[in-house]
Homo-oligomer: A and B are copies of this chain.
Amino acid sequence: MPFAPLKNDTFLRACWRQATDHTPVWLMRQAGRYLPEYVATRAKAGSFMGLATNVDYATEVTLQPLERYPLDAAILFSDILTVPDAMGLGLSFEAGEGPRFARPVRDEAAVAALAVPDLDKLRYVFDAVTSIRRALAGRVPLIGFSGSPWTLACYMVEGAGSSDYRRVKSMLYGRPDLMHRLLAVNADAVAAYLNAQIEAGAQAVMVFDSWGGVLADGAFQEFSLAYTARVLAQLRRDGIDGQPVPRIVFTKGGGLWLTDMRALDCEVLGLDWTVNLGRARALVGEGEGAKALQGNIDPNVLFAPPAQIEAEVAKVLQSFGRPHTDPQTSGPTHVFNLGHGISQFTPPEHVAALVAAVHAQSRALRA
């Protein structure tokens, strides 16, 4: 059964570096705890994983921010740690503590035992993709996603969040052979996972390299970037309805390595707020291998009053500069986003101010 035709293709066009009449905007973690309706659904589900594994709930919360704000894309509601969970590591979310694995990967035997998981264990994700795509009914495109091989490795070895990455870096520096094996398994698992999301209906995919920025220069290229490239090389190019699927790579704290990332076989690079968009555009936004840029306002801007939010939106749009406007050719384009996930403490009405400001100001910028 085919999906409904797409009514708002602004986000996809910008990903392909095609002209649009406004700068599309979506927000990392846009379906989340800052929305009271999300909190209500989460309470019905009982737990975070209860929410993520239930197709109806996952569909409901994915669409919630679209009911409030004229966002230009939806993103699958899920977690980046579903893949290692399917590998048997035992994921749980303790209240106020973030994710935790019951069986972290800390020695040679544990690394040797790792394998690409049976994708049937992740069926709930693919079913959610199809359900969300149907519920969207062509309003905006649906983005699928995964954590990057390195970011998954951080959680798999540390067993939880970390402030110093001591365990995972001890393995990296002390037993690079084990780290390479772990990352190779992760890369192949992530590629299979994203392909299955595309086959279920995802219209774009994003790799979250949330912890790439904690690596040293040299180590980043060897232990994160190379495995993101390994994922990209295995991805399906076309979606279920024959449309090409753009690929977004976001390395938080990766601004120093943009020139290296230019070589990635993807369409969009996500940037955090430390990066000057104008400089990034000059480095990777034009010519052979050029990328569209996504980002990069500081989520903490959303705690300021609306007038300041509008002024900060203007700074970000002006930092990128006038986007490409010629409908006949491709050129530099910008997808507006936060530089990291939205805070749970964000006032929802401030998000409305941000989205409206991006749409209005970016139209004016093109005039």
Contacts and interface: CB of A to CB of B under 8 A. Distances in A.
A6 to B, nearest CB: 33
Contacts of A300: 164-166, 169-170, 172-173
A49 interface: no
Contacts of A173: 298, 300-301, 303-304, 308, 312
B303 A274 contact: no
A135 interface: no
Interface stretch (A68-76, A80-88, A142-150, A215-223): A215-223
A3 interface: no
Contacts of A164: 300, 343
B253 A166 contact: no
Give the oligomeric copy count: 2
Contact of A213 (B216, B274, B312): B274
Interface string A311-349: 010010001000000000000000000010001010000
B217 A275 contact: yes
Nearest to A256: B255
Interface residues of A, number: 37
Contacts of A217: 273-276, 319
Contacts of A339: 216
B256 A305 contact: no
Contacts of A46: none
B275 A308 contact: no
Contacts of A253: 253, 274
Interface string A200-237: 00000000000001011111100000000000000000
Contacts of A218: 276, 315, 319
A96 interface: no
Interface of A: 164-166, 169-170, 172-174, 213, 215-220, 253, 255-256, 273-276, 296-298, 300-301, 303-305, 308, 312, 315, 319, 339, 343, 345
